[in-house]
Amino acid sequence: MQRFAHQFLDAEVFWRFLPNLASGFAVTLMLGLAVVASGLAVGLGLALIRTRLGHTRMDRVGTVALRAYVDFFRIVPPLVIMSVLFFALPLVGLTLGGFVSAWLALAMALSAFAEEIFWTAILTVDRGQWLAAQALGLTFGRTLVLVVLPQAMRLAIPPLTNRTVAITKGTALASVVGVSEMLGEAVAATSYASNTTPLVMAAAGYLLLFWPLSRFSKRLEARRTA
Amino acid sequence: MSALADSFFNVEIVAAYWPLLLRGLGMTLLLSALSIPLGFGGGLLLGWLDTLGSRAVTRTTGLYVDLFRSFPPLVLLVLIFYGLPFFGLDLPTLASVLLAFFLNTSSYYGEIVRAGLGAVPSGQWDGARALGLSHTKSFAWSCCRKRCAMSPPTSPATRWKWSSSPRWPAWSRCPN
């Protein structure tokens, strides 16, 4: 027990590396917020576009393109996309910073997952709801916003939170492209101090980051169900 | 452009290193084949516990999910692999990796199952009870229901439903 505490909960190491971890926390928070905001917005947008796609030839091309985008970014690990953006694009004359590469890669991954989740959630809303809204004279847009999306959200929120948490934890990958976020700082500090306390600190930091998110999504879900 | 091809699509490098990658792929497949079913089983267990209707149990499963969802897998791996020996529990490498992945994956699956069951109309439960099914059987029945949102594409179990979903009805595109 004594040795465990020394290895994982060392006070001296804690204070020495707190500033590094704190700055890493700020970077993770910023990157995470950027990814969540843009990823969810694009995902919802794509799902809404998909509801407008039908059977004409142009629409089919659109559907195929959309599914190609979604499947591609769900399958390819964000780390690969991130390093291609960061290391390969400069070779063809387009230089992105590490932060921007990480943001783009994670946001595209999140948008792909979010599109699928929003889309299935929309599909599970009973057809009668659409018909009833139509009968009441609501336009397509109003049906979507007033009738379908509120019901779909109840279903979408828990898996969305899952994905959001998982992808936001992917900010840890950003250390590969030279962004000093929390887990990267912690791993560096761990090898520097030959002591795993910084990793425990990083875990606490992630808890601090995601616990409120979990609570918030549960509250949102409870309000929708009630 | 040739610099790009040279550092990203270099045939010589592919020829030299593909056996290494193949070995890595084998390990990835093995870990996935073990940790996904284990995690899904754990998730089902969490979902089942959640339907028992006990506040204390629901609180505990909620705590479990929120805790292990928030931990980066790397931290869990390090804590288990390097931390447990200090308590006299020396797990082999594969076992500690599986334990870490189980804690992580089951928390995600637990949330998916819980959300899916939330979308099953309560009448389905009442119906199952009225037919004399036990609680566990009602649970299994509800999990298989069409409306059960195990269908979000995050879950492979109901991938079939997604792929066979009907086309969007034509009238929905008519402007009013």
How far is residue B176's CA from residue B163's CA, in Å, rounded to a whole number?
A: 30
Element (H, E) at B64: helix B55-70
* Binned average pLDDT, 10 residues per bin, chain B of 176 residues: 76 89 91 93 91 88 90 83 80 91 92 79 80 82 59 40 35 32
Nearest to B72 among A139, A140, A169 (CB): A169
How open is the CA angle B172-A161-B162, to the nearest 5 degrees? 40
**Looking at the complex, does the CB of residue B77 fall below 8 Å from at least one CB of chain A?**
no
Cβ atoms A16, A173 nearer than 8 A? no
pLDDT of chain A, 226 residues: tens digit per residue:
677 777 778 888 888 888 888 898 999 999 999 999 999 999 999 998 988 887 788 888 999 999 999 999 999 989 899 988 998 888 888 888 889 999 999 999 999 999 999 998 888 888 888 889 989 989 888 888 898 888 888 778 888 888 888 888 888 888 888 888 888 888 888 888 888 888 888 888 988 888 888 888 878 777 765 5
Q: What are the φ and ψ backbone dihedral angles of A221, each rounded to 5 degrees?
A: -65, -45
Nearest to B78 among A120, A163, A196 (CB): A196
Q: What pLDDT score does A42 carry?
A: 96
Closest CA to B147 of B176, B132, B125: B125
How far is residue A184's CA from residue A165's CA, in Å, rounded to a whole number?
A: 18
Q: Which amino acid is at A191?
A: S
Q: ipTM, 2 decimals? A: 0.70
**Looking at the complex, does the CB of residue B118 fall below 8 Å from at least one CB of chain A?**
yes
pTM of the model: 0.77
Please judge whether A53 and B168 are an interchain contact, meaning their C-beta atoms are less than 8 angstroms apart.
Answer: yes
How open is the CA angle B131-B134-B140, to the nearest 5 degrees? 95
B144 half-sphere exposure, CB direction, 13 A CA radius: 6
